[in-house]
Amino acid sequence: MKKRYYTAESVTEGHPDKVCDQISDAILDALLRQDPFSRVACETCVTTGLVLVMGEITTKAHIDIPQIVRTTIRDIGYTKDSLGFDGDTCAVMVALDEQSSDIAMGVNRLPKTNLNIKEEVTGAGDQGIMYGYATRETEEYMPYPISLAHKLTQRLSDVRKKGILPYLRPDGKSQVTVEYDQSNRPCRLEAVVLSTQHEPDIEQEHIRRDIRKYVFDSVLPANMIDKNTQFYINPTGRFVIGGPHGDSGLTGRKIIADTYGGMAHHGGGAFSGKDCTKVDRSAAYAARYVAKNIVGAGLAEKCEVQLAYAIGVAEPVSICIETFGTSKVTDEVLIKAVRKVFDLSIEGIIEMLDLRRPIYKGTSVYGHFGKSPDVFSWERLDKVNELRAYLENNGSVIMV
């Protein structure tokens, strides 16, 4: 196999699309604190001086949505008009309705069968396909390019918020190109791009020196850099106008940065602003949970899991597992083990991962995966022993 290059990008919390994701998930969390069974499909869009919150919400909770919007924007760092966007002065419009009764009919707890059985299930909130992925490339079981891109943007926000580089503004993005060797392992950095919004009176050379010292040197592994690694810092030469003033934003427009940086497939559904009955979100988390435990159990070096659901139907209509030739057992055997060890019905996923908690704003920036398993349950490796035990008890030979 010849060497190849793979690129992934990340954006900071001040990026206009990420402003929207954070607002949508902050609203979701506020609703779940009062009513864990809230049905939420909340989307946000922003532009110069304006925030529009729209969608469908059915809940017993009572929250102050404009206040949540303004607090979220201030926490990001848009606190004065000179930044082009101000959480205290921007207009906030709310256009929300209740969930469609046609959709609710398929999601609400209904008899499991047409027989006289009292057991009830929750149906999927929509049809769709969701993917999960895991690889041994990094400690967090994430692809190396997206993992490094997130670390760069997170560090960029940290040096701004901590006052290390006080002239920075909230908007920014990174892009990392990684070279993979003939064994398909990351071996060096080909290119690193970082663009950061800044105050107008700062020289670009000053910014480049500071970013190299306080961001790149803190994040980039020295053993992955050589004389041919290319660095680009604010390559346009100026980045003063940014955030919602520089471009409009919308919830769900950064789905590749939210997941695996393009290394794995994506079903197309966004996550932020959706409660756990929406399989776009809950089943994507479940698919990651399955894939990570398969890799964590040593059953494959990397794994992609596809789950498919039909609206109003509790169980997945299909499960597909791809291990890219790295599995210790056949993919068909893995699917049987997964069906036995994981409850991938809608209610099963919600209970297995405890998804009615107000934890979602923490997912809305720097990726939904590869984070702390203490908070984000789909990152746990607690099914590893069960998977191995099932395979061994059913006569599967785990190839070395």
In tens, the pLDDT along 118-157 reads: 445 677 767 889 999 999 999 999 999 999 999 999 999 9
| Alpha helix (H) residue ranges in 16-128 | 16-34, 65-76, 101-107
Q: What tens digit of pLDDT does each residue of 226-237 get?
A: 999 999 999 999
Burial (CB < 10 A; 0-12, 13-18, 19+), residue 251, is buried
pTM for the predicted model, two decimal places? 0.93
pLDDT score of 119? 47
Number of H helices, E strands in the chain: 12, 15
Structure tokens at 398: 């785990």
Residue type, 183: S
Domain 128-136+252-261+279-393: CATH class, spelled out? alpha beta
Evaluate the CA torsion angle 136, 340, 335, 377 in order and state its sign: negative
- What is the pLDDT, as a whole number, of residue 314? 82
- Residue 312 has a pLDDT of 81
The confidence band for 394, taking pLDDT boundaries of 50, 70 and 90, is: confident
Q: For residue 308, count CB atoms less than 10 angstroms from its CB and return exposed for 0-12, middle for 13-18, buried for 19 or more.
A: middle
Q: What value, to the nearest 5°, has the Cα angle with vertex 23 and ends 125 and 76?
A: 150
The reply to whether 128-136+252-261+279-393 shares the fold of 4-10+143-242 is yes
Residue 98 pLDDT grade (very low, low, confident, very high; cuts 50, 70, 90): confident
For the stretch 1-56, pLDDT in tens is 578 999 999 999 999 999 999 999 999 999 999 999 999 999 999 999 999 999 99
pLDDT at 116 over 50: no
Please give the pLDDT value at position 109: 55
**What is the 3-class SS of 233-284, one letter each residue?**
ECCCCCCCCCHHHHCCEECCCCHHHHCCCCCCCCCCCCCCCECCCCHHHHHH
User: Where does the pLDDT of residue 112 fall: very low under 50, low under 70, confident under 90, or very high at 90 and above?
Assistant: very low
Q: What pLDDT, on a 0 to 100 scale, did the predictor assign at position 228? A: 97
Half-sphere exposure of 106 (CA within 13 A, CB side): 18
pLDDT at 120: 56
Q: What is the pLDDT of residue 231?
A: 98
User: Percent of the chain beyond pLDDT 70?
Assistant: 92
* 258-271 pLDDT per residue, tens: 999 999 999 999 99
**DSSP E strands, the chain:** 4-11, 39-47, 50-58, 79-80, 85-86, 91-97, 110-111, 120-121, 128-135, 168-180, 186-198, 230-233, 249-250, 302-309, 318-322
Name the β-bridge partners of 52. Answer: 45, 93
Query: Mean pLDDT across the chain, nearest whole number?
Result: 92
Instruction: For residues 230-259, give the mean pLDDT.
Output: 96
Band (393; pLDDT cuts 50, 70, 90): confident
Residue 216 and residue 189 in contact, taking contact as beta carbons nearer than 8 Å: no
For 307-366, write each residue's pLDDT tens digit.
Answer: 999 988 888 999 999 999 999 899 899 999 999 999 999 999 999 999 999 999 999 999
For the cut 50, the answer to whether the pLDDT of residue 114 exceeds it is no
pLDDT at 206 over 60: yes
Q: Each residue of 164-174: pLDDT tens digit?
A: 999 999 999 99
- How confident is the model at residue 113, as a pLDDT? 44
Residue spans per domain, the chain? 4-10+143-242, 128-136+252-261+279-393
Which pLDDT belongs to residue 141?
98
Residue 103 has pLDDT above 60, yes or no: no
Domain 4-10+143-242 has CATH 3.90.1300.10: no
239 contacts 198 by C-beta, under 8 angstroms: yes
List the one residue out of 69, 22, 67, 29 whose CA is nearest residue 50: 69
How much is the pLDDT for 285?
98
